[in-house]
């Protein structure tokens, strides 16, 4: 089953209320590209405000705590995100793994908790350049996924995978299309084994890492690339919408 391409902007630790006009512009323009599912993950502080602005796009968060409400200073749990208007959460991003020492086990606990709280999940995976150069990219990424995929029966509606080679994030370097296709094919096989081919067919596998309007069309046209997770280029409506347009054109081709 071919799902709509999913283009998700990850604003990371960027954005004050001055950025709401960008979110509004993205939302209004997204209404012209209904073949593409467009979403934004602003910082926590803007989730509710962006949610109030948005008529078309999905709003999500960039992390959540694995537990329920309680004594965890500075943390936010899934039900609080839902309450603020989030419909999904990005989990296991390499910056969380690096900056906060997040393990696959913790990420798995966060995923289970987010799903329980009614959020959809975008689970990120990806290798370092050293791991790729050692020829271990595939086994590393599949290992991350095996240790963190949730035990659910209906992943189609609730789970998206984002393959983001760490060396391509924010560096201007993108993986070659052949490398992306090979990795996405391996991830697809793992999803088939884990959930059954029929059920997992609708789980999209996004690519992330220096996606821009200029390279989006080629990446998004590749087999098994179900969309993109976009960092830097999602911070302006103009560049983010360039990627949405490329996704729409790739869909038409």
Give catalytic residues, as residue numbers: 93, 164
Pick 56 or 215: Cβ nearer ligand PGA? 215
Q: Which span (29-37, 127-135, 137-145, 162-170) binds ligand PGA, by CB under 6 A?
A: 162-170
- Considering only residues 5, 60, 92, 232, which one is a binding residue for ligand PGA as defined by CB under 6 A? 232
Pick 195 or 204: Cβ nearer ligand PGA? 204
Distance CA 144, CA 251 (A): 30
What phi, psi does 97 have (nearest 5°)?
Answer: -60, -40
Distance CA 248, CA 253 (A): 9
Distance CA 93, CA 64 (A): 12
Pick 124 or 191: Cβ nearer ligand PGA? 124
Q: 11: buried, middle or exposed (CB in 10 Å: 19+, 13-18, 0-12)?
A: buried
Binding mask 60-89 for ligand PGA (x = CB under 6 A): ------------------------------
Residue number with the shortest CB distance to ligand PGA? 231
Binding mask 187-226 for ligand PGA (x = CB under 6 A): ---------------------xxxx---------------
- Considering only residues 229, 243, 245, 246, which one is a binding residue for ligand PGA as defined by CB under 6 A? 229
Instruction: Give the nearest distance from C-beta 230 to ligand PGA in angstroms.
Output: 5
Query: Are the C-beta atoms of residues 59 and 47 closer than 8 Å to each other?
Result: yes
Pick 227 or 231: Cβ nearer ligand PGA? 231
- Considering only residues 230, 245, 247, 250, which one is a binding residue for ligand PGA as defined by CB under 6 A? 230
Q: Which of 171, 184, 167, 170 is nearest to 219 (CA)?
A: 184
- Interface with ligand PGA, residue 164, by CB under 6 A: yes
- Interface with ligand PGA, residue 37, by CB under 6 A: no
Distance CA 99, CA 145 (A): 19
- Interface with ligand PGA, residue 170, by CB under 6 A: yes
- Considering only residues 10, 113, 160, 200, which one is a binding residue for ligand PGA as defined by CB under 6 A? 10
Look up tokens 């071919």; give the residue.
2
Mind spelling out the 3-state secondary structure of 51-95?
A: HHHCCCCEEEECCCCCCCCCCCCCCCCHHHHHHHCCCEEEECCHH
What phi, psi does 197 have (nearest 5°)?
Answer: -60, -40
| DSSP designation for 3 | P
Pick 190 or 235: Cβ nearer ligand PGA? 235
List contacts with ligand PGA (CB under 6 A). 10, 164, 169-170, 208-211, 229-233
């Amino acid at each position: 089953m071919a799902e709509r391409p999913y283009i998700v902007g990850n604003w990371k630790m960027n954005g004050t209320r001055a950025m709401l006009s960008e979110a509004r512009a993205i939302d209004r323009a997204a209404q012209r590209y209904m073949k593409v599912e467009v979403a934004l993950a602003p910082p926590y502080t803007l989730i509710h405000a962006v949610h109030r602005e948005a008529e078309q796009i999905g709003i999500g968060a960039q992390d959540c705590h694995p537990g329920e409400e309680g004594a965890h200073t500075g943390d936010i749990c899934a039900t609080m995100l839902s309450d603020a208007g989030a419909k999904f959460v990005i989990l296991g991003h390499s910056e969380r793994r690096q900056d906060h020492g997040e393990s696959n086990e913790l990420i798995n606990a966060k995923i289970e908790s987010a799903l329980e709280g009614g959020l959809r999940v975008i689970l990120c995976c990806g290798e370092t350049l050293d791991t790729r150069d050692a020829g271990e990219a595939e086994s590393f990424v599949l290992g991350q996924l095996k240790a963190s995929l949730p035990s659910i029966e209906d992943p189609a509606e609730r789970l998206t995978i984002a393959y983001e080679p760490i060396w391509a994030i924010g560096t201007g370097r993108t993986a070659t299309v052949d490398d992306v296709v090979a990795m996405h094919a391996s991830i697809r096989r793992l999803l088939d084994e884990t959930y059954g081919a029929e059920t997992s067919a609708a789980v999209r596998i996004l690519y992330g890492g220096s996606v821009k309007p200029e390279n989006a069309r080629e990446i998004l046209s590749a087999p098994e690339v179900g969309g993109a997770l976009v960092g830097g280029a999602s911070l302006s409506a103009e560049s983010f919408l360039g990627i949405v347009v490329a996704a729409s054109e790739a869909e038409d081709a």
